[in-house]
Chain A
Amino acid sequence: MEDFEPKIIAFLCKWCTYAGADLAGVSRLKFSPNAVPIRVMCSGRVDPSFVLDAFAKGADGVLVGGCHPGDCHYAQGNYKTLRRVKLLKMLLKDMGLEEERLRLEWISASEGNKFREVVNDMVIKIKEIGPSPLKKEESK
């Protein structure tokens, strides 16, 4: 699996993490191109079915990015996201998928560098655990 390039679906909140990713871009930071960003109004908008759908369609990882606790534009969206992600991780474990494939990070609009580090780190970790087994089943 030398040439394995993970595909990571990144649900990023408009107010913080997406702006942070934007900052990483305009600052010309170099980082792995594996994350496919999808902008949502709030990390609380990320329905668990989006995450499961992404995995079912063969994503190797899913990143959910939201504002730091207390900073949510909608007051409590990210508090609910935390619970959703924890419940989802519990479910993924029962379904035989590695927990590391799903990651929640608080990244503010000024943390372009943190976004870069999170994506790079996630790519390394997913390369270690290998491609999503659901992708393999698909091709069978």
Chain B
Amino acid sequence: MSQVSMTVNGKSASGEVEGRTLLVEFLRENLSLTGTHVGCDTSQCGACVVHVDGKAVKACTMFAAEAEGADVRTIEGMANDDGSLGTIQQAFQDHHGLQCGFCTPGMVMSAAALLSENPNPSEAEIRDYLEGNICRCTGYHNIIKAIMAAAGQDVSGIAAE
């Protein structure tokens, strides 16, 4: 066991971890931040996406020890300061970007990473960026629509699907 310290959603966090402790396990089990989901545990589904030093990573495929000193952001850090939903989260609600909601934390974190790199993405660019995020409910259309809306695009002409 060794000590690991990092900043999570703006607050310092530390704990005892094994070498094999994954970042997602540290977040969920040590810090009780269970918004970050574990879907496949094989780095395919993207439900565990968080930001490490501003970059989207799959928290099931990174060791907690490697996040030593890092600035980590999870879905719990996406709400506004007053507790209301952040822009991307609100867009997912407004445009029915989720059904069961299991993939949503990863979808929102990937969307946030995309919009920070590319504030006004095309539909094709959004679909390409979500290559590593799997949703088994929505068929993706409303997720794409929600992200376009979060980017400030007019989506009123896009039919609900």
Answer yes or no: are A and B bound together in one complex. no
| Interface residues of A, Cβ cutoff 8 Å to B | none
| Interface residues of B, Cβ cutoff 8 Å to A | none
